[in-house]
Amino acid sequence: ESSEKGSYRHFMLKEIDEQPQAVQRTLADRLAADHVLPEAFGAEASALFKQVKNIQIVACGTSYHAGMVARYWIESLTNTPCQVEVASEFRYRHVAVQPGTLFVSISQSGETADTLAALRHSKDNNYLGSLAICNVGTSSLVRESDLVLLTRAGPEIGVASTKAFTTQLVGLLLLTLALGRAQNSLDTEQESSIIAALRNLPKILNDTLALSTSIEQLAQCFAEKHHALFLGRGEQYPVALEGALKLKEISYIHAEAYPAGELKHGPLALVDSEMPVIAVAPNNDLLEKLKSNLQEVSARGGQLFVFADSSVPFIEDTQTRVIKVPSIHPTLAPILYTVVLQLLSYHVAVLKGTDVDQPRNLAKSVTVE
Ligand code: G6P
């Protein structure tokens, strides 16, 4: 992939569009017929994964949100305890390290100062070993970690991370499956259904990118707003956080994300017709819970924008717009719903005329503290 914009107006849209190919590369030569090849993480991975009792994930920014999604996957699919923390906090506090903990860092650049410092700090403690999920093979993080999975997203120029994030998620799902198999804690039917869904992911991502034009029309409803609230439940909560971060970063609209079940503990007080509420609603066990949370928003005059699985009947009305997203295996849903939220932020930012690829005050890589 080139570092030129080609016919694109912005790198960000080019990088959003590159996601099917980027994911394809992340998967290439890492899957056997029905399982993930542990060698993908390095020659020592198989032996090390068998000893893992606990996972500590550390990252910053968008990469931290990838770690938050991974926690849901690792705990639910492999029953391995997992903690996630931003590197700037982790590096400065005393962490009680459980025996058998694998230290996992996630970074697009592999040069983020806090993440690197956290890895170095971890070496003074009794971790089982370190694994980096990273996009840059020559980076310090990769050089200093025991195990590595390169995300192969290709160069990412836009400051707001897009394809680096979705390929991190794919890498973290590969980690979950490899770990679960090494520990015999993974249900084999679940394993093969997720592998099949991963193989099909580039195609579904392509279908999802076709929603760009309809999302562009929605963007009009946001351009004049000053605040927005993103809601999700379970592993869609970090997707909501990432959606809010993207909107803040490139359109300068103040955005917050909440786990939908927390609405009534505060944010409901802010809901009125001036604050759009965006919800991500894949077809999973929490759907009915989410629907009742959304009714609370409607009952208070809130304007809802629901990205929902196309197989789920969601009723549109004057207060509720529904954008149908292709159906997907529930485990992979965070990857797909991230893409629609990327498109939403992008189109809002273009309408507002901001510097999409170089938002004010932000840097692509934060290499100093
Ligand atoms: C900066 C970038 C973000 C990125 C974060 C972490 O804030 O603007 O897009 O998520 O750093 O960077 P890393 O390279 O460690 O993923």
Q: Is the CB of 62 under 6 A from ligand 1?
A: yes
If you measure from the C-alpha of residue 367 to the centroid of ligand 1, how many angstroms do you get, rounded to a whole number? Answer: 10
**Most ligand 1 atoms within 8 A of CB, residue of 88, 112, 249 to mutate:** 112
pLDDT score, position 278: 96
Atom of ligand 1 nearest to the CA of 60: 6
pLDDT score, position 119: 98
Q: How much is the ipTM here?
A: 0.98
**Most ligand 1 atoms within 8 A of CB, residue of 16, 157, 169, 364 to mutate:** 364
Q: Is the CB of 63 under 6 A from ligand 1?
A: yes
If you measure from the C-alpha of residue 32 to the centroid of ligand 1, how many angstroms do you get, rounded to a whole number? Answer: 32
Amino acid (one-letter) located at 61? G
| Residue 217 φ then ψ, to 5° | -65, -35
If you measure from the C-alpha of residue 73 to the centroid of ligand 1, how many angstroms do you get, rounded to a whole number? Answer: 22
CA 136 – CA 157 distance, rounded (Å): 13
Q: Is the CB of 60 under 6 A from ligand 1?
A: yes
If you measure from the C-alpha of residue 108 to the centroid of ligand 1, how many angstroms do you get, rounded to a whole number? Answer: 7
| CA distances, 293 to each of 239, 327, 334, 368 (Å) | 17, 22, 19, 41
Atom of ligand 1 nearest to the CA of 112: 15
pLDDT score, position 368: 84
Per-residue pLDDT tens digits for 274-332: 999 999 999 888 888 888 888 888 888 899 999 999 998 888 988 999 999 999 999 99
CA 112 – CA 25 distance, rounded (Å): 24
Q: Is the CB of 61 under 6 A from ligand 1?
A: yes
Q: Is the CB of 162 under 6 A from ligand 1?
A: no
Q: Which residue numbers are catalytic?
A: 364
If you measure from the C-alpha of residue 63 to the centroid of ligand 1, how many angstroms do you get, rounded to a whole number? Answer: 7
Q: Is the CB of 364 under 6 A from ligand 1?
A: yes
If you measure from the C-alpha of residue 5 to the centroid of ligand 1, how many angstroms do you get, rounded to a whole number? Answer: 21
Residue the block writes with tokens 């956080």? 241
Q: Is the CB of 108 under 6 A from ligand 1?
A: yes
pLDDT score, position 314: 84
Atom of ligand 1 nearest to the CA of 249: 8
Q: Is the CB of 366 under 6 A from ligand 1?
A: yes
pLDDT score, position 184: 94
Residue whose Cα lies nearest atom 7 of ligand 1: it is: 61
3-state secondary structure the chain: CCCCCCCCCCHHHHHHHCHHHHHHHHHCCCECCCCECHHHHCCCHHHHHHHCCEEEEEECHHHHHHHHHHHHHHHHHHCCCEEEEEHHHHCCCCCCCCCCEEEEEEECCCCCHHHHHHHHHHCCCCCCEEEEEECCCCCHHHHHCCEEEECCCCCCCCCCCCHHHHHHHHHHHHHHHHHHHHCCCCCHHHHHHHHHHHHHHHHHHHHHHCCHHHHHHHHCCCCCCCEEEEEECCCHHHHHHHHHHHHHHHHCCEEEEEEHHHHHHCHHHHCCCCCCEEEEECCCCCHHHHHHHHHHHHHCCCCEEEEEECCCCCCCECCEEEEEECCCCHHHHHHHHHHHHHHHHHHHHHHHCCCCCCCCCCCCCCCCC
pLDDT beneath 70: ranges in the chain: none
